[in-house]
Structure 1
Amino acid sequence: MVVEDDPFLGLLVKELFENRGYEATLFKDGERAFKGFCEIQPDLCVLDVMLPIKDGFSLAEEIRTTDSNVPIVFLTAKSMTEDVVKGFQIGANDYVKKPFSMEELLVRVESILKREKGIGKLESSEVSYQFGIIDFNYTYQQISVGDMHKSLTSREADLLKILCEQRNQLVNRKLILVKLWGDDSFFNGRSLDVFITKLRKLLKAEERLQIQTVRGEGYRLVFAD
Structure 2
Amino acid sequence: MDFHLLNILLVEDDLTLGEKLTDFLKSFGHDVVHCGDGDKAFEAFCDGRFNFCIFDLMLPGIDGFTLTERIRSRDSYIPVVIISKRNHKDDKQKAFDLGVDDYLVKPFDPDELLWRIRAVARRIHAPLPSGNVAAPLSIGKFTFDLNRQMLLNGSTIRRLTRRESEVLKLLCTRKNQLIKREEILMQLWGDVDYFHGRSLDVFISKIRRYLKEDNSIRIDNIPTVGYILKEGKS
Give the alignment's TM-score, normalised by structure 1: 0.86
Aligned to 1:185: 193
**Cα pair distance change 1:200/1:101, threshold 3 Å:** farther
1:8 shift after superposition: 2.6
**Per the alignment, in what secondary structure is the counterpart of residue 125 of structure 1?**
coil
Describe the shift of the 1:100–1:208 C-alpha distance in structure 2 as closer, same or farther (beyond 3 A).
farther
User: RMSD of the alignment, in Å?
Assistant: 2.5
Matched, 1:45 2:84: no
Partner of 1:213 in structure 2?
Answer: 221
Asked if residue 195 in structure 1 is aligned to residue 197 in structure 2, the reply is: no
Which amino acid in structure 2 is aligned with residue 112 of structure 1?
A: V
2:176 — aligned with what? 168
The answer to whether 1:87 aligns with 2:95 is yes
Aligned partners of 1:13 and 1:102 also within 8 Å? yes
1:14 is aligned to 2:22: yes
Is the contact made by 2:99 and 2:199 (CA closer than 8 Å) also made in structure 1? no
Partner of 1:144: 152
| Distance (Å, rounded) in 2 between the aligned partners of 1:55 and 1:209 | 38
Please report how far the alpha carbon of residue 120 of structure 1 lies from its aligned counterpart in structure 2 after TM superposition.
Answer: 8.2
Structure 1 residue 126: Cα displacement: 4.2
**CA distance in structure 2 between the partners assigned to 1:127 and 1:60 by the alignment:** 33
Say which of 9, 12, 31 aligns to 1:4.
12
Between the aligned residues of both structures, percent identity stands at 36
**1-side partners of 2:102 and 2:42: how far apart?**
19
Equivalent-residue separation in structure 2 for 1:118 and 1:83 (angstroms): 29
- Asked if the contact 2:97/2:198 (under 8 Å) is kept, the reply is no
The one of 110, 116, 132 aligned to 2:140: 132
Alpha-carbon distance change, 92 to 208 in structure 1, aligned in 2, over 3 angstroms: same
User: d(CA) in 2 for partners of 1:207 and 1:58?
Assistant: 34
Deviation at 1:56, TM superposition (A): 1.0
- Which region of structure 1 is more displaced relative to structure 2, 64-73 or 165-174? 64-73
Specify the alignment match of 2:39 in structure 1: 31
| Deviation for aligned residue 1:123 | 9.9
CA distance in 1, matches of 2:178, 2:226: 7
Q: CA deviation at 1:27?
A: 0.6
Instruction: Identify the residue that residue 114 of structure 2 maps to in structure 1.
Output: 106
The alignment's TM-score, normalised by the length of structure 2, stands at: 0.83
Displacement after TM superposition at 1:121 (Å): 8.2
Give distance in 2, aligned partners of 1:68 and 1:127: 24
Distance 2:135 2:123 in 1: 14
Q: Which has the larger radius of gyration?
A: 2
Structure 1: gaps (5+ residues):
none
Q: C-alpha displacement at 1:51, in angstroms?
A: 0.9
Indicate whether 1:55 and 2:31 are aligned.
Answer: no
CA offset digits 1:145-203 (Å, max 9, x no partner):
23333333322222222222222221111122223223223222222222221221122
Query: Which whole-Å CA distance do the structure 2 matches of 1:132 and 1:50 have between them?
Result: 45
From 161, 164, 167, the equivalent of 1:156 is 164
Residues paired across the two proteins, number? 225
Which structure has more helix as a fraction of its residues?
1
